[in-house]
Amino acid sequence: MRGIASLSHAPALSIAARRALSTTVEPGPRRLDHLRANHPSIYADCRYSIVEISAALAATQAARLGADSGHARRFDVQRRDATRADDWPAHPGPCFVLAMEVLDNLAHDLVTRRGGATWRQAAFLPTAALRLLDTLHAMLPGHALLAADFDSLPEVSIRGVNAPLVATTEKGSTRDHGTYLVPRGTADIFFPTDFRLLAELHAEAGCGAARPRPTCSSSVKTAEFMGIWAAPGATRTRSGYEPLLSDYSNTSVFLGGCPELCDPPLGERV
């Protein structure tokens, strides 16, 4: 599971903060560099926390965001499981939770239904994603979740609804596996995200929280998101090719949470 970042800030600056977070695609120090240079009032009042389950990656993130970056007072790295509510310190105030390619690596439950001797239907359910949403509503009730991930995966050989792509890359070549039962650490296992279902799960988790709160959500394809919120032409190549608009056609962006932080929707220009 890749790390989750949480940025707390004043709610009145949500639109500016959303622009600041989306116009930089590099994590960690560059995002904070951008906030400090372009939105100093947000930077002065923010706290950037990275939640990482891997000890090695947590150490790498801490090193990249260390004293040399000048952000030592504005960030911290927390090594833990982001889906576990018991591991989160409660934060009732407004914050953005950034989940960039996190959902695809979360655990899924495989369920099957048999309709006879030869017929069987299988589906992979995003149970860990639901647990994460429950945790966010419980521990960060003022959050807005900004998640970017794959909405479909090509040439999946494993059968079943929402089946994962299991692949190993060796010496520049990729080999797909026909099963997810591979030795630990030998392959990348990632799932597509049903963004319509994600919105339903996020709303349901909000209704089931200890203090239910109204939520809103929106999702758009990555190209549409970048066309609205990214800096036009900043990543255009000499040939005129724009990778942010043309690549990753099988990805989408989701925004859900408190109406104060999620208005306007992702696909609406302001």
DSSP codes joined into one string, 138-205: HH-TTEEEEEEEES--SS--S-SBTPPEEEEEETTEEEE-S-S---TTSSEEE----HHHHHHHHHHH
The whole-number pLDDT of residue 252 equals: 96
The whole-number pLDDT of residue 18 equals: 44
Strand order in the sheet with 188-190: 173-176, 165-170, 188-190
pLDDT, averaged per 10 consecutive residues of the chain (270 residues), comes to: 54 42 45 85 85 86 74 84 88 87 94 74 93 92 91 92 93 89 91 95 79 79 87 84 88 86 62
Residues carrying CATH 3.40.50.150, the chain: 4-152+191-262
Q: What is the CA radius of gyration of the chain?
A: 19
The whole-number pLDDT of residue 230 equals: 80
The whole-number pLDDT of residue 63 equals: 81
The whole-number pLDDT of residue 163 equals: 96
4-152+191-262: CATH architecture: 3-Layer(aba) Sandwich (3.40)
Report if pTM > 0.95. no
The whole-number pLDDT of residue 10 equals: 39
